[in-house]
Chains A and B, each alone.
Chain A
Amino acid sequence: MIPSPHSEQDVIARILAGGHRDYAILVNRYKDRAFTLAFRLVEDREAAEELVQDAFVRAYRSLDRFRGEASFGTWLYRIVYNLCMSRISREGKRVLTVEISDELDASADSAGERNPTPLEQIEEEELQHRIGEEIARLPAQMRTAVLLFYVEGLSYSAMASVMQIPIGTVKTLLFRGRSRLRERIKGRCDKEVNVT
């Protein structure tokens, strides 16, 4: 198979060889995904835009240190994530409010008590909107895990690399994030059913 001239490694090689304008290919390829991550984390469109610009600038300036062990995207998301976390910390927002342990049993315990969900009765669009709201209410690290897994489509090991935490912790954060989302949505649905 003939490799695409726009394959990531080729593009990076061309940039490092002096084809600086080819960086636009990488920027265009990742800007929306990086922006989504930043926007969902800092919840401010303008700030997210600036953070993503900074991340691309930093990534470019240290491109010669990029070893290609992970994708450029994973590397970039790590920079975006670090910048977002610094900003969140500076602003005094909660970064993480949950104690992480490798035991998942506690989260699973309550799961067995549930009745069949009323989720199916709710319109898909409205549910998506609610999920978006609930994602914004998750602690930042949990939110990041959910976004990296579902929006960026990263593997556990790539997520661990981006967030600089062990894979076990990534799995725990993801599991708890999803459990919370499920519970909150279920809770809201139950309230609405009781009201009507």
Chain B
Amino acid sequence: MNDRTIGHPGDMLQGYVDGTLTVAELRSVADHLTACTRCRSELQEFKRVDQILRQIPLERASVHLSGTVLERLHIGMPHDAALRVLARVGAGFAFLIVAATLIAVCAVTGVIDLGGLAPGGEGAGRWVTEPWNALTQAASGLGAVVARHFPFLSQQGALAILTFTAAVAALLGAMDLLFSRRSMRR
């Protein structure tokens, strides 16, 4: 038998929870609820499900979504895209600084190690005349220092690692700067 035919409000309970009933319907359901335990219990069930559904969590879209949309529309530089470029430029410079530092340390350590400019050392107070020789000697010197601290490495091995690191750092720095310039042009 249909609920309504025996006076139960049935689906009107949902309207009661949603607040979509007319005043007359609302009054009728409210009157019924005061007398019907079953409908009161059912109303609690409606309310419970309603309450849970209202707590469905929002899913978070990617933080890059708005940047990507604006990029697709070719609209200027959105905030997060600008930050990405900035980070890339920063990383580029950082890599280049690392490369330069490695080369500088190589040079200084090499000279000191070889006694070229070390105070009181042989040949103190004069620069090595051939720049290429100076660089080679400096690198060899640093290789020697590293090899001394890490006995399992040969001087050539240490030198190879240092050279490779400096080259990779310089390459990464150059690439980052290049890509950041492209992003800025877009």
Contacts and interface: CB of A to CB of B under 8 A. Distances in A.
Nearest to A56: B69
B38 interface: yes
Nearest to A25: B66
Given A52-B65, A112-B38, A150-B54, A185 B49 contact: yes
B52 interface: yes
Contact of B66 (A24, A39, A116, A150): A24
Contact of A36 (B10, B14, B59): B59
A16 interface: no
Contact of A32 (B50, B53, B60, B72): B60
A178 B52 CA distance: 11
B24 interface: no
Given A151-B56, A181-B53, A35 B79 contact: no
B35 interface: no
Given A32-B59, A182-B49, A105 B2 contact: yes
B93 to A, nearest CB: 27
Contact of B10 (A39, A48, A49, A108): A108
Nearest to B50: A178
Contact of B53 (A112, A115, A178): A178
B73 A23 contact: yes
B23 interface: no
Interface in B15-49: 20, 38, 41-42, 44-46, 48-49
A27 B61 CA distance: 11
A98 B161 CA distance: 68
B3 interface: yes
Contact of B65 (A39, A49, A120, A132): A49
B55 A20 contact: no
A128 B56 CA distance: 7
B157 interface: no
B73 A57 contact: yes
A169 interface: no
Q: Which of A35, A146, A181 has the most CB of B within 10 A?
A: A35
B41 A108 contact: no
Contacts of A72: none
B11 A104 contact: yes
Nearest to A31: B61
B62 interface: yes
Given A20-B75, A21-B76, A128 B55 contact: yes
29 contacts: A20-B76, A21-B76, A23-B70, A23-B75, A24-B70, A24-B75, A24-B78, A27-B66, A27-B69, A27-B70, A31-B66, A32-B59, A36-B58, A60-B69, A105-B4, A108-B10, A111-B3, A112-B10, A114-B42, A117-B44, A124-B52, A128-B56, A131-B49, A131-B53, A135-B56, A156-B20, A178-B14, A181-B53, A182-B46
Given A34-B61, A111-B42, A114-B42, 15 more contacts: A21-B76, A24-B79, A32-B58, A35-B60, A49-B61, A53-B68, A108-B2, A108-B4, A108-B10, A108-B11, A112-B8, A116-B41, A135-B56, A178-B50, A182-B46
